[in-house]
Amino acid sequence: MARRLLPKRLPRSANFGQFMQPTVNTLENITELNSRGHRPLKMDFEEQLRILVYYHLQEYSSAQHLLQALKEDDYARNHIAPEQGIEKSSFSEAINSRGLEQLLHVFTHLQKQAADLLPNAYPELGSLVGIDGSLIDGTLSMLWADYRKGSKKAKVHVGFDLNHSIPRKVYLSEGNAGERPFVSKILSKDETAVTDRGYQCHALFDQWQQDGQLFICRIKASTKKKILSQNPVPADSIVFFDATVLLGTTDVNQSQTPLRLVGYEVDRVKYWIATNRYDLTAEQIAQAYKLRWDIENFFAWWKRHLKVYHLIARSAYGLMVQILAGLITYLLLAIHCHKQFQEKVSIRRVRQLRTAIENELRWLPDDDEPSQFVKEQKLQAVDAKT
């Protein structure tokens, strides 16, 4: 029987419990957290997951903000926090040393669950994965996060399923790490990487083709090209160029394996797209590259509305825990918005969910311990009669 991921003391948290429901099956046979000493754990994995998802869902600005809410907010204390509460030292120790394996397990299974549930918006284009990196501001104490002198940054590398608009894979590195090596790590067989100009590398294009990996990559307009053969371009099309080429010159970084180059123009901006997808029309290549902007929109939304870049950990381990929790929260939102409204994730629906959760405390107080809200309402009524 699957374990229920619901608060242990007050299981009436219907809205948050329903929101977390997709994680229940992922917790079956999951590796349990173990204390590294003789002292028992202050927070098991289910509690850690619940707290981290709640942190992102409620837009708390720091770990201190979260911990204060877990102590002082009636709803968070009764429905989210461990029964015995959680102190700063225990919370920090847990985030920076436990739960990463379990969170990765939950993320992987939720991603598959969401991909099976959500509609495939572009089946004719094949499986498209937008790949990009995003910098996270660090602190000077984060010695592992090399970026430049006097500045520490980490970089998160995300593979974004463009067909279903959900994150697919994630890696973390120091801020000055290159982004190109992560393409092969993120991409699976029969998937097509969709990338921007920062990923242009002729030697990598050769290697990807040798390894059977598919790509659609924008390149610099100034790139030299040797035309081997040209394809007809439809009339009245945004496409003005479609050919098989070698990139670069014999003297400077020339590719060894021919590839396809598509040129198209939108709003007076010319785009040059290198690819080894010969099965798509030139217009479909242009459409697939345009979808790459979805990962940019995802980073911006994720950062703004789930506060994923507000650090609650300083170690590489703890930051990865935080990032995975943010991705899990987004996947849960994607599942929730589709099941409840047949829509994509939006801040409107997130705010609606937050309000529903808050209303549980206002209108469904515990019988033995009335909430502060109810106490104040009774007091106001007495004052009115007086």
The full DSSP string for 124-169 is: GG-EEEEEEEEEEE--TT-TT-EEETTEEEEEEEEEEETTTTEEEE
- In this structure, of 158-172, 199-213, 246-260, the range with the lowest mean pLDDT score is 246-260
Average of per-residue pLDDT across 360-369 = 56
- pLDDT bracket for residue 5 (50, 70, 90): very low
* Predicted pLDDT at 108: 96
Which is the CATH superfamily of the domain at 121-300?
Answer: Transposase Inhibitor Protein From Tn5; Chain A, domain 1 (3.90.350.10)
Q: What is the pLDDT of residues 219-248, one digit of tens each?
A: 999 999 999 999 999 888 999 999 999 999
Average of per-residue pLDDT across 46-50 = 93
- Torsions phi, psi for 172 (to 5 deg): -125, 140
Angle at 362 between CA 359 and CA 364, to 5 degrees: 90
Torsion of CA 239, 241, 245, 246, to 10 degrees: -90
Q: Are strands 259-266 and 214-219 parallel, antiparallel or unpaired?
A: unpaired
Question: What pTM, to 2 d.p., does this model score?
Answer: 0.89
Q: What's the mean pLDDT when you consider all of the chain?
A: 88
Is the per-residue pLDDT at 367 higher than 50?
no
Cα 108 to Cα 32, 90, 141, 171: the distances in Å are 17, 27, 31, 13
H-helix segments, 29-99: 45-57, 63-72, 74-75, 88-95
- In this structure, of 41-50, 115-124, 203-212, the range with the lowest mean pLDDT score is 41-50
* Predicted pLDDT at 373: 40
What are the structure tokens assigned to 206, written together?
């050769």
- pLDDT bracket for residue 13 (50, 70, 90): low
